[in-house]
Chain A
Amino acid sequence: MFARAIAVLCASALGLLSCGTIAADAFAKTGVVMAVGAENEYANVISQIGGPYVSVAAIESNPNTDPHTFEASASVASEIAGADLVVRNGLGYDPWAQKIMAAAPNPKRKVIDVQHLLGLPDSTPNPHLWYEPSTMPAVAKAVATDLSDLEPAHRGYFEARARAFDKSLDPWLEAIASFKARYGGTPVAVTEPVGDDLLRAAGCDIRTPWSLQAAIMNGTDPSPQDVTTEESLLKDHRVKVFVYNQQVTDPLTASFEALAKHTGIPIVGVYETMPTGYDYQSWMLAEVRALTKAVAEHASTTRL
């Protein structure tokens, strides 16, 4: 009786084991690459390139929090450790991703560090690389290459998707070009550098001192000179638009926002991570449209 029970147990254990193997095989055969985007804008690009052949998780996606102060949890760690492809920003924006990958080495894992992909030095002051128009085409290309290495059977699909992605950026790039042509040199004030690369691409003149932007980004003590400079930009109407980072706020940024409202300077809300209901292209296009609306119609778009 006892021996029989043991035998049954052994058999069911074996069954479970073989089930496990079968499941893993099936999983490998369907060819779904497990991928992680440290920030949801990168995750969005991975899923646009990979289509049905990837399962993508985004780590930073809450539009109400500040990614600069993100702390990884255990579930995030296991998600990254189990991924075949990881896209991270670099430049000290997501150091936790580096730590988790170092703790769970996987020789087959492909990692795209956008900072290194673009060949940027560690001293690059502004880490918000996805607002620079030339960044995502490079990321999309690298993602297509890595996915092709992981799933050679679908190389043609990934490459076609990368080309389609590049093409889909055209409305955004056209919006930037037409803003620059009509409103180039527009003086703007910002709170934090998130959208600076896009503003520069659109020919805006960012009047807020870098030291204030850095203090707000890093949550350090702002200097009184910079606070006063920013206030006078808004008070004396020396800027046409106030670009407000909705994810990096404190009482000081709130007081600037109140001042801009009071003096009637249109406010454009910008985000660290992709807001809900958008993909990367439509998000970026919405930001340029909001900027255009602010200059052309003096209308605020505080939230996307």
Chain B
Amino acid sequence: MSALFHALFARGLFSNPAVHTAAIVGALAAISASVAGVFTVMRGQSFAGHALGDLGAAGGSAAALLGISPLVGFVGIGAVAAVAMSTLGSHGRRDRDVATGVVLGAGLGVTGLLLYLDTTHSSTTGAAVSVMFGSMFAVAPSTLPAVVAATGFLALCLGALYRPLLLSSVMSELAAVQGVRVALVEASFLGVLVVAVALSALTVGAVLATALLIGPAATAIRLARSPGTAILVAAAIGVGSTWMAIILAYDSYYWSASHSGWPVSFFVVSLIFVAYLVAELLSSVGSRLATHRDPSVSRTLS
């Protein structure tokens, strides 16, 4: 047992300050992204979430150029992109996807320019890799208060929006009939999504942010039978994958003689994917075993 413990938790894991910061920032980001992700998946806005993540790269590389906190860059660019996407694509779903794609393309072009300026006009070497693929162990502890504040903001917003958001996500027409101001709810949720994706981008990088947003949520929706449970399961999968990834990345330092540990973002994304595959398998086995069970709930959710 002790041997297993030491095999899993390599020496110094619990006393390492970089691990502490990564564990706290990672957990808060995972909870925010996974919970916002459940609504994103239910509303069919995965593409918008993905685009906001990728666009975050422009904010992250601008932050590197200006020498400010990457979180400010991610949130700032997300807000601009969200406004652009909802202004351009306000005529139905197909229009929305097209507008998202167009804004995404333009934003990535700007990212290309900013990363070029980062390496040619200032000496920010690691900008490209850390903005795109994250670098959880290099997150400055001074970022922590902003991460806590952003998570608190999300919790407040989602708490206030919960009922109308859920109703408008599942049945938008019914919500409108019941007096929910669907447009306002939609706009507020986009704001929530921007902050959640920014937190996700801070931990696993702009390109991989979508994995933390959609992955745990999609898995939870496969497994859970009510939205409340799905939110809890998604948060658990998000935090579990992130913490397990931190442990594996820490251990990977000892896997090779040159001590070139593997990137933590790789482990986060891989574990989320494995969880999704397992959930797929479980739910298909489950539905074969219990065909008599009423599948309407999970159908409503997904």
Contacts and interface: CB of A to CB of B under 8 A. Distances in A.
Interface residues of A, number: 34
Interface in A232-257: 246-252, 255
Given A209-B259, A211-B258, A223-B249, A250 B130 contact: yes
Interface residues of B, number: 38
B31 to A, nearest CB: 21
B23 to A, nearest CB: 10
Contact of A225 (B124, B127, B259): B259
B126 A224 contact: no
Interface stretch (B93-101, B228-236, B260-268): B260-268
B4 to A, nearest CB: 21
A65 interface: yes
Contacts of A227: 18, 137-138
A65 B12 contact: no
Given A224-B18, A225-B259, A219 B249 contact: no
Interface string A204-237: 0000011100111101111111111001000000
A216 B119 contact: no
A62 B120 CA distance: 9
Nearest to A209: B259
Contacts, number: 114
Contacts of A225: 12, 16, 250, 253, 259, 261
A70 B119 CA distance: 7
Given A64-B122, A65-B123, A248-B123, A223 B137 contact: yes
Given A224-B18, A225-B16, A228-B18, A247 B123 contact: yes
B68 to A, nearest CB: 10
Nearest to B265: A221
Contact of A250 (B124, B250, B252, B264): B124
A224 B254 CA distance: 12
Max chain A Cβ within 10 angstroms of own Cβ: one of B123, B124, B134: B123
B129 A219 contact: yes
A69 interface: yes
Given A221-B264, A225-B259, A64 B126 contact: no
Nearest to A228: B16
B119 A69 contact: yes
Contact of B125 (A66, A224, A231): A66
B17 A228 contact: yes
B277 to A, nearest CB: 25
Contacts of A217: 125
A110 interface: no
Contacts of B265: 221
B128 interface: yes
B122 A65 contact: yes
B258 A221 contact: no
Interface of A: 62, 64-66, 68-71, 209-211, 214-217, 219-228, 231, 246-252, 255
14 contacts: A211-B260, A211-B261, A216-B125, A219-B128, A221-B134, A221-B135, A221-B137, A221-B264, A224-B137, A225-B261, A227-B18, A228-B18, A249-B124, A249-B125
Interface of B: 12, 16-19, 22, 64, 70, 116, 119-130, 133-135, 137-138, 140, 249-250, 252-253, 258-261, 263-265
